Amino acid sequence: MYLVMRIILMMACVFAAIASHGQSITRTPLYQEGFDSGSREWSHVTIDDLGYEAYINQGKYVCRLPENNSMGWAWTFVSLPDRIRQTVDSNSKIDLEFDWTVTSNRDDSRIGLMFDTYNIRDGCPGGDFRAILFEGDGATLETSFSQTMNCNRDLKWIIDGTDTEDRPTNHVKISKDNYTWTVYVNGKNVLDFNYSGSMRLAQLNYGRGTYLVDNISIYRKNLSVAPVASANQQGATTSSSNPRIWILLAGIDNYLYQTPLNYTVNDVRAMYNFWTSASGGRIPRNQIVLLENQEATVDNILRNANRLFSQASQNDIIITFLSGHGGYGSFASHDGTLDYQNLNVIINRSNARKKLCIIDACHSGSFSRKEVLTSRGETLDPDQSVNLFYAALSRSGDGIAYLLACRANQLSVESPELQHGLFTYYFLEGLNGAADTDRDNLITIQEIYSYLARRVPAYEATQNPELQGTYDPTMPLAVIHK
């Protein structure tokens, strides 16, 4: 058995809202710098023997390296404020914008941002840096993504961008979208690249000459979902009918930018087979979307969730099941990082009052009890079991529950022996009957948690599932048939 970056987050969320259709990106300001002369965040540097300076003057940040400095340096750098670095590093979707003006040595200008890959941001030697650089000659501006080892001032070019006009003042926008970076100069797309490793914003790089930096802004990009007609207006199932179940599954073993996993596709295929069986409610195949590996991109997951869940009525239940790598507040899709908040925009705006989100990845109103619906120990045929399942689902309350595969400081495991993630294996085993402790043929959320809390740590002592939230403990997740 070996540990992988996995945790299960299982949410049944309640929000009755307008169904959604269509997606757009909005921006939330996170940082804006007007360069107040009293600012303490920005470095103030003076090195007399070099004439090297960095300071705030008249609402701009001034960086100067004399053309004939005593060390013969072609460029140097100054550390960026912690607030800027932390804002860029901690958000997976941001736009960083700034203006820069060259007031001397414009025919050989150079400015850029340096990113540290070994978390040694402020000292040399020892760093391994990547840099987004802008170099101009007064007529043409070149953009590149470069590398420097141990602060060596001879840079290795990795990717050359598209040349553009070098203006007296240039406006730069650097757009980060998970592992994809896009650079714009004066509104023109000049550079695109993917970088999957650690890349932490560290320093402002500048060459010989005097530079004025101004109008620094950072924006977080948000997914916005536009409302459409509700499911009932579209002729969806009404409350007099059995609830319908809409399910999105995505599992990724093979990634563009992450180490591979082994059994996540097994997990989602097994869940698909369960939900299309009598025990899982015989969900019609046109109400389930299954995405595997390269199909499970950030855009494809969000697009299919939006399309599928906008069809649900208030009487329905929507289920999301994601299996793969994860981090705090995010899930690793095939091509990048999917923020849970963007997925929740779609989930929360669906008309469905019962919402279940199961996320198998690392770092993971009220209810009233209902009477038992069948005699203890009674055996049912498949048709009877399906009828029982939907009757119990209709009677259960709305609410929110979190079923976590492990505590926040724990990892979940994959098991070569079981050919599944450990949580998913016992989750399925419980749904197929092992968790039915009162022998009423229904597997409730409380029963499945009690089963997981017993079986998972018995297999792996460092993994302890948790159940949180306000929920109906009798909410059915499965039904048993003979």
pLDDT at 56 over 70: yes
- Residues 385 and 451 reside in one and the same domain: yes
Q: Strand 317-323 to strand 354-360: parallel, antiparallel, or no bridges (unpaired)?
A: parallel
Q: Write out pLDDT tens, residues 100-128.
A: 999 988 899 999 998 876 544 445 544 56
Q: Which residue intervals of 35-91 are DSSP H helices?
A: 82-90
Q: Which residues of 61-77 are buried (b: 16+ CB within 10 A; e: fewer)?
A: bbbbbbeebeeeeebbb
pLDDT, tens only, 299-348? 899 989 999 999 998 888 888 888 888 766 678 889 888 877 778 778 87
Based on the domain organization, do 234 and 360 belong to the same domain? yes
Judge whether residue 14 has pLDDT over 50: no
**pTM for the structure as a whole:** 0.51
Report the greatest alpha carbon distance in the chain: 92
Q: Which of 167, 164, 158, 157 is nearest to 193 (CA)?
A: 158
Task: Tell me how many domains the chain contains.
Answer: 2
Over residues 370-395, mean pLDDT: 44
**The domain spanning residue 149 has which CATH number?**
2.60.120.560
* Domain stop point among 174, 189, 222: 222
pLDDT digits (tens, 9 = 90+) for 203-247: 899 999 999 999 999 998 875 544 433 333 333 333 346 788 899
111 pairs with which residues across the strands?
Answer: 134, 206
Whether 429 and 451 map to the same domain: the answer is: yes
Domain limits at 173? 27-222
List the structure tokens of 102.
């060259």
| Domain shared by 195 and 306, yes or no | no
Rounded CA-CA distance 427/448 in Å is: 7
Asked which of 184-188, 235-239, 334-338, 442-446 is least confident by mean pLDDT, the reply is 235-239
Q: Both 303 and 377 in a single domain?
A: yes
CA quadruple 230, 231, 234, 237: dihedral, nearest 10 = -150
CA 97 to CA 185: how far, in whole Å? 10
Of the three residues 222, 237, 253, the one that is the final residue of a domain is 222
Q: Calculate the CA 312 to chain-centre distance.
A: 25
Residues 13 and 64 both lie in one domain: no
State whether 189 and 256 are in the same domain: no
Last residue of one domain, picked from the residues 166, 191, 222: 222
